[in-house]
Amino acid sequence: MSVDARAAPVLTMSPERVTMRERIVAGVPWAGWIVLAILLAIPALGGGRYLVYLGTLIALQAALATSLNIVMGYAGQFAMSHSAFYGIGAYASAILVTSVGLPFWGAVPIAMACAGVLAAVIGYPALRYTGGVHLALITFAFGELARLVAANWDMLTGGPMGMRVMYTPGSLFGLELGSAKGLYALAAGMLLVCLLVTEVIQRSRFGRGLVAVREDETLAAFLGVNVVGYKVAAYVISSMLAAMVGCAYAPIMNFISPDLLSAHETISLIGVLILGGIGTIAGPIIGTLLFFGIPEMLRVARLYRLVVLGVVIVLVALFMPKGIAGVLRDRVERWKRGLR
Amino acid sequence: MDLRPNLSAARVAAVALGGLMLATSCLAQTIKLGMVNSLTGPHASFDLPASEGVLMAVDEINKRGGVTVKGKKYTLTVDSEDAQSKPEFAVSGAQRLLRDDDIKVIFGIMTRGPGMAAATAIGKSDVLYIGAFTLLDTLLGKPGGELMIRTLNNDATVAKSFVPTSVTELGVKKVGIMLPNEDVSRSIVAVYKPLLEANGVQVPIVEYFQPDTQDFAPVLRKFQNQGLDGMLTGTNDALVEAILRQATELGGLPRKFMYRGGSGAPAIKYSKAVDGFTWQILTRDIDNTSDPKVKAWVERYKAFTKKDVSPNSYWALTFYDSVFMVAKAMEEVGSITDVKAIGAKVKSTKYEGVRTMRFDKDGHAQSDIDLGILKNGKVSSVRAAAS
Amino acid sequence: MDLIQTLLDGLMVGGLYATVAIGVTLVFGIMGILNFAHGQMVMLGAYTAFFVVSAGLGFWPALLIGMVAMGALGLVLERVVFRHTLGDHMQGLTASLGVIMVVENLAAAAFTHDPRTFEPPLPGSFQIVGLTLSSQRMLVLVLVVVLVVACHLFLQKTRIGKAIRAMGQNRTGAALVGIQTTQVTAVVFVLGSAMAGAAGVLYGSLFAITPYMAAAPLMKGFILTVLGGLGSVPGAVLAGFLLGVAESLGSRYLSASFRDGYGFMLLIIALLYFRRGLFGHRGKVRV
């Protein structure tokens, strides 16, 4: 018997069988996008200088978290080098613009390409093995090495005290990006790009393959998934996106320091991601809003914020590995099916 | 009991009080000053005393009657933001201050990382920025830096008096330079090496170490067996203390040191193992001074902060005098909002405060400093006039 | 002359790294958990020594108290956090990241960023066969060797030591022959943490103590774990001495400003091409 025949009764189920709950739940992602649009619009329309700056920072961090989500959330790999690629993107684009004289929008693809090549070179040998240990170690070492290079090669990077960045990106599609609101638009745009990439991956065969790899590599290999290729691809895409966001960091903050590449920053990022929920689209944004937005408005001292984040990471890792968004999604699923 | 007379009496009192407050608020207005400093984090050892100095000066000005501009009396208030020793927070702190249109003058930051970031953000607005980090000197006099002032002398100015005095006091003939690998270090070498040579000292070796080095032995070994009798090193207390400690442990190294930046604290701990140590006190020596102005200031500092002085307390004089200068400039210019005029006035004034403050037209400081000397176990200091 | 001094220095520094690495490799070998928070024990051990010495109790009690305190902390961490993550190695890694953030920032808040130092028991230098050697550094070298040898004997000769090695080879098999895996896991954590604590005390006797000092020993610990073979104590030790000497020679004769870089480069090369390390018997499945 062919598969089609057995699937036929399901496929021809009449539409009335779709419950009210299922309809509502199907609408949740749309509602999520609308909420996001509203949030993004706030600084653009009503913001004073400070709100725009805050929005820009949050958008950058959310973009970074979203890009990390691709390799950590969907592929399940521990990429400790994410902040390093962020910094590499920032430094590479800054050096290309200030020393070589490229326009901003010419420097971005080159910086991304550099990041991609580096990620492939580092990732391929490490990802040949199962388990995340090798990748975690190598990327950790790579991140610290990158930081050391940035801190010591001061002919190129300005050394441990960092590099001052005075340029602004040129206009794109007629939008002037030099002003504070323009830079906000840049950050928000990058966030949208990362989200788009995540959405596309999630719906694609590649994405499903990634999830299979995350759950059980050996089984995925048996099912014909090119495990190593997919893992490397996810890592490279993530790193390239991080570099892209890094290119925006430079003109926004006007200043790049080697600390940007440190493993500490990646660890914070992982914490944010886990808090919000890895493997979901909303997760990184929720996590970023919670971690950066609220304390920034309340001006809680950074040290205590990090302690709390650390405790949260431990608790979430032990009891709630799917994070807030994951838990919410599970709840919603169960409600949809009529369970309580 | 009949409460009604009491109620009406209360009403009258309330109205009178409200009227009085309204009247006084018309009479005593406030000038808001902004301040962004690293109150927490590794840079707090410099910035925290500096912030205390500002608050102290504001308190003293208010106690003597505030600032009187065009017949109107003003009290000073300070909005303070914590840069947490990180550039991002320095910028967001500066942004919060800039959000308030009443703030026309911002003080703060003594370290490069947060400093450059905040200065760049502030430079985009019409606000007078009075800072102290070394690289601020590179922004002065250039576009974007017209409304900026640095209250500490730059290396070139300091070295002109530091080098001859140190060479004479220590009696060195052959010196090695050992500094962290930063670009500030490169400019230090560019200033000090020629000056040393001009004062009859050979400098056969210059070495840079990784800035977060803990183990200085490999680098220190490069200075052994070269006939050196002295070393120039820097750039903060923690580094120099570690260097001194390991130098004395390893043996075979010079026992006379010149310290660019920071306090004399590292040497005092190792005074028995060291033959001579000179350092630069960019404000005033507050530990061994005979200057009555400084002594009086120290007493006021202790009373205001309710703390005893520590090796880093001399940084509290970084901005102290400049607050008075700003107040005086506002009075003389007759405005609390004309930032350009106030800035120009401050830069052109010579002010005899606890420090003698003078600036050039771009805002570089040319004040007098103290040089600390530790010799034969005894600590003293010498005043070096501004050149 | 100079060469000998540099070599001795390298051995000392390498020995310190090795002491840290022993804890990492043992925990990884037994539990499969990459405990990123291991470095925090080194930092806390150093602070413990600082406070004990400042209280006037002296260096040797500080060493003892440091080891005991860190051992106890390791036990607590194992019970509260890592025991629950045995099934999922990534979960353990994540949890350890959280622990780092908590410990490091609490320490920074409690101790402030000011670097601390304490008087070593043997300050200054001494002369021997024409060499000038730092007394404290030589003491640290001797102590490190003693610690490593003691650890080795513990693993080889005692029952628990043998149980640990058995678990490292085959966890299920060890349980089958009656080894109490949960107890042994706890012992491993305690042992590793105590070693890290000792390393911290020794670090503190030579270098400045700050809340963020854990990063460097941790990195070196990982490097050695991989270079020496995941789970192999002799491997980690040998790799430790080698790394220390390489760093010392490199900084002395090449560029001093890139010191940590030599180690990272070695690690990356080793991870990429020598996945079994020097003595490792745990390779990883190739998919």
pLDDT in tens, A196-218: 999 899 888 888 888 888 887 77
Phi and psi based region of residue C112 (left: phi greater than 0; alpha: psi -120 to 50; beta: remaining): left
Whether pLDDT at B220 is above 70? yes
Whether pLDDT at C278 is above 60? no
Q: Is residue A303 a part of any domain in this protein?
A: no
A56 and A252 Cβ atoms separated by less than 8 Å: yes
What average pLDDT is seen over chain B? 85
- The model carries a pTM of 0.79
Q: Is residue A298 a part of any domain in this protein?
A: no
Q: Which of A50, A161, A183 to mutate: most B Cβ within 10 Å?
A: A161
Residues B201 and B265 in one domain: yes
Query: Where residue B33 falls among pLDDT bands split at 50, 70, 90?
Result: very high
Nearest-CA distance A311 → chain C (Å): 6
Q: Is residue B337 a part of any domain in this protein?
A: yes
B258 and B166 Cβ atoms separated by less than 8 Å: yes
Q: Which residue among A53, A152, A162 places its CB closest to the CB of B210? A: A152
Write down which residue in B226, B255, B281 finishes a domain: B281
Residues B148 and B295 in one domain: yes
Cα angle value B85/B87/B91 (rounded, 5°): 115
Q: Which of C1, C134, C135 to mutate: most B Cβ within 10 Å?
A: C134
In terms of residue numbers, what domain contains B342?
29-153+290-368
Task: State the pLDDT at residue B58.
Answer: 94
Token match 């200088």: residue? Answer: A49
Average pLDDT over residues C12-20: 88
Q: Is residue A163 a part of any domain in this protein?
A: yes
Among candidates A38, A45, A60, A99, which has minimal Cα distance to A248? A60
Write down which residue in B281, B316, B340 finishes a domain: B281
> What is d(CA C115, CA C113) in angstroms, rounded to the nearest whole number?
6
Q: Is residue A272 a part of any domain in this protein?
A: no
| A152-160 long-range Cβ contacts below 8 angstroms, 24+ apart | A152/B181, A152/B210, A152/C257, A152/C258, A152/C261, A154/B181, A154/B182, A154/B183, A156/A95, A157/A91, A157/A95, A157/A258, A158/A256, A158/B183, A159/B181, A159/B182, A159/B183, A160/A257, A160/A258, A160/B180, A160/B181, A160/B182, A160/B211
> What is d(CA C197, CA C266) in angstroms, rounded to the nearest whole number?
26
Q: Lowest-pLDDT range, A166-180, B160-174, B337-351?
A: A166-180
Whether pLDDT at B105 is above 90? yes
Structure tokens at C99: 């622990």
Task: State the pLDDT at residue A300.
Answer: 54
Q: What is the CATH number of domain C2-273?
A: 1.10.3470
Average pLDDT over residues C197-226: 85
Whether pLDDT at C23 is above 70? yes
Task: State the pLDDT at residue A254.
Answer: 79
Nearest-CA distance B185 → chain A (Å): 11
| Higher per-residue pLDDT: C222 or B175 | B175
| Higher per-residue pLDDT: A301 or A75 | A75
Contacts of B35 (CB under 8 A, 6+ apart): B51, B54, B78, B79, B80, B81, B97, B106, B107, B108
Domains held by chain A: number? 1
- DSSP run (H or E) holding A38: helix A20-46
C253 and B220 Cβ atoms separated by less than 8 Å: no
Q: Is residue B363 a part of any domain in this protein?
A: yes
Average pLDDT over residues C132-156: 87
Whether pLDDT at A159 is above 80? no
Q: Is residue A246 a part of any domain in this protein?
A: yes
Task: State the pLDDT at residue A150.
Answer: 85
Q: Is residue A86 a part of any domain in this protein?
A: yes
Judge: C257–B181 Cβ closer than 8 Å, yes or no. yes
Whether pLDDT at A166 is above 70? yes
Q: Is residue A242 a part of any domain in this protein?
A: yes
Query: Where residue B129 falls among pLDDT bands split at 50, 70, 90?
Result: very high
Task: State the pLDDT at residue C194.
Answer: 92
Q: Lowest-pLDDT range, A247-261, C6-20, C124-138?
A: C124-138
Task: State the pLDDT at residue A30.
Answer: 76
Average pLDDT over residues A243-254: 89
Cβ–Cβ contact C207 with B under 8 A: yes
In terms of residue numbers, what domain contains A156?
42-261
Whether pLDDT at B76 is above 60? yes
Task: State the pLDDT at residue B96.
Answer: 85
Residues B233 and B298 in one domain: no
**Running DSSP on this structure, what letter comes out for residue C231?**
T
The strand pairing partners of B280, in sequence order, are B371
- DSSP run (H or E) holding B268: helix B265-269
Q: Is residue B6 a part of any domain in this protein?
A: no
Q: Is residue B160 a part of any domain in this protein?
A: yes
Q: Is residue A174 a part of any domain in this protein?
A: yes
Share of chain C above pLDDT 70, in %: 90
Task: State the pLDDT at residue B25.
Answer: 47
pLDDT tens-place string over residues B239-293: 898 898 888 888 788 889 999 987 788 888 888 888 899 999 888 888 878 888 8
Task: State the pLDDT at residue A235.
Answer: 92
Share of chain B above pLDDT 70, in %: 92
Whether pLDDT at C129 is above 80? no
Structure tokens at C139: 């003491």
Whether pLDDT at A222 is above 80? yes
Domains held by chain B: number? 2
Cα angle value A146/A149/A150 (rounded, 5°): 85
Share of chain A above pLDDT 90, in %: 16
Helix axes C233-253, C2-31, angle to 10 degrees: 150
pLDDT tens-place string over residues A43-56: 777 667 777 877 88
The SS3 of residue C211 is coil
Task: State the pLDDT at residue B246.
Answer: 87
Q: Which residue among B210, B213, B251 places its CB closest to the CB of C125? A: B251
Token match 């350092």: residue? Answer: B279
Task: State the pLDDT at residue A181.
Answer: 78
Query: Where residue B6 falls among pLDDT bands split at 50, 70, 90?
Result: low
Q: Which residue among A152, A267, A304 places its CB closest to the CB of C97? A: A267
Write down which residue in B281, B298, B313 finishes a domain: B281
CATH number of the domain residue B171 falls in: 3.40.50.2300
Residues B62 and B207 in one domain: no
Task: State the pLDDT at residue B26.
Answer: 47
> What is d(CA B118, CA B93) in angstroms, rounded to the nearest whole number?
8
Residues B171 and B141 in one domain: no
Nearest CA in chain A to C32: A133
Q: Which of C28, C102, C104 to mutate: most A Cβ within 10 Å?
A: C102
Q: Which residues of A100-127 are buried (b: 16+ CB within 10 A; e: fewer)?
A: eebebeebbebbbebbbebbeebbbbbb
**Strand arrangement of the beta sheet that strand B230-233 belongs to:** B202-209, B174-180, B230-233, B256-259, B276-281, B369-375, B378-384
Structure tokens at A278: 């890895």
Q: Is residue B227 a part of any domain in this protein?
A: yes
